[in-house]
Structure 1
């Protein structure tokens, strides 16, 4: 049997600290059952510090932050820190089954890696920015998670952060994602669409105007949209709006 080291150095993430041995007992039972369907893992070791007998003479505990406090500040993303590394989500994930662990470019693969790595490392790199999209949002991971991490919710939240690209700030007890300045045109377009869909009369008038002037519609978008439409065909505006067609053919009756 190998002799224990005289100097023991343990590097522990700050989210792994539990108050008492009784609290640890819960995780020692939960982890093996969720991971390998065992009552207890055979490789669990516990250290209680230094000793004059058979054990380490010197003990150093390194508490690692490395992005964890930033993750804790995000009221949606913080639930990822509850992970006990049981790999239950990996066992049921269809994306992980086909892509494998190395595709995630991190020590944390699978669904939990898709929400944890971008929060710990940021989304500046291409691989980290792509991780929240490595999911079909089927929800299987959430169903089997023993600590109830809503991984689909965090995935959608991180996608929003990546798309908006703005800073995350705290307003009272609420975390607010402020859109990036470069998205002003998109936000204006979405506000206009929201107004149109909430005013049926204006929407109907706009549809009829678009149908009557469809011969003059450009086939490519101007300005920043030119690059997008250069490789895509813009859909043609129909000669008659669907609303008018339904009124004409069905006399305004609702579809059965």
Structure 2
């Protein structure tokens, strides 16, 4: 009896220590996400003024690239601060959202960086309404597209497409980079996991963790398919509110759109409700 009570007490103590550690890390991340933005905002303001004061064309272009990167960093710090909160404090606010609008924001986030990297970024516009939280969905897609550009490299190609799947639409972010080894796919969404890219690219490996956590809050399944030396496709599935028809179509065009998108092989790794 005493041994059982002692064991139970040890388990409770370990659980309490783990929870205290989690809360401490959450507070640290929240403070970091907030406080680091202050010097970032000062730097951004300085860059805006420098560009506005008149500079040679090439110098102004480079400063705009730096400013664009700082804006993305600010958004990523917001993501970290938000996701450091307790899950019961994170309440998505789903509503009818035109998917094109979110994709346009993501394109603005990454277009300059993609051009600077020599990566071709293409988007297939769906013109469809989905039910989601637009800020959280932008977080998911911004991280997926950023990863795709990073791992495609110079002369790479990143394509954002979509597939209809019954009453849902799957948004696919495809890159033609080096791909992910099959052995790493199961843990690719874990914090600080970077596949086999450690030492070969910048970053801490938090982007896909943010994707997973945000997708779980939204109940949007996310999955990945990858082939080494050929590339990867990350997909997020969204509840569909209307069909992606152009404003004016004929019957033949509508039929083509209805069957648009080739169904790929099943995902190699996935997260979220199926």
Give the shorter-chain TM-score range: under 0.3
**TM-score, structure 1 length as denominator?**
0.25
Greater RCO, CA 8 A, separation 6+: 2
Larger radius of gyration: 1
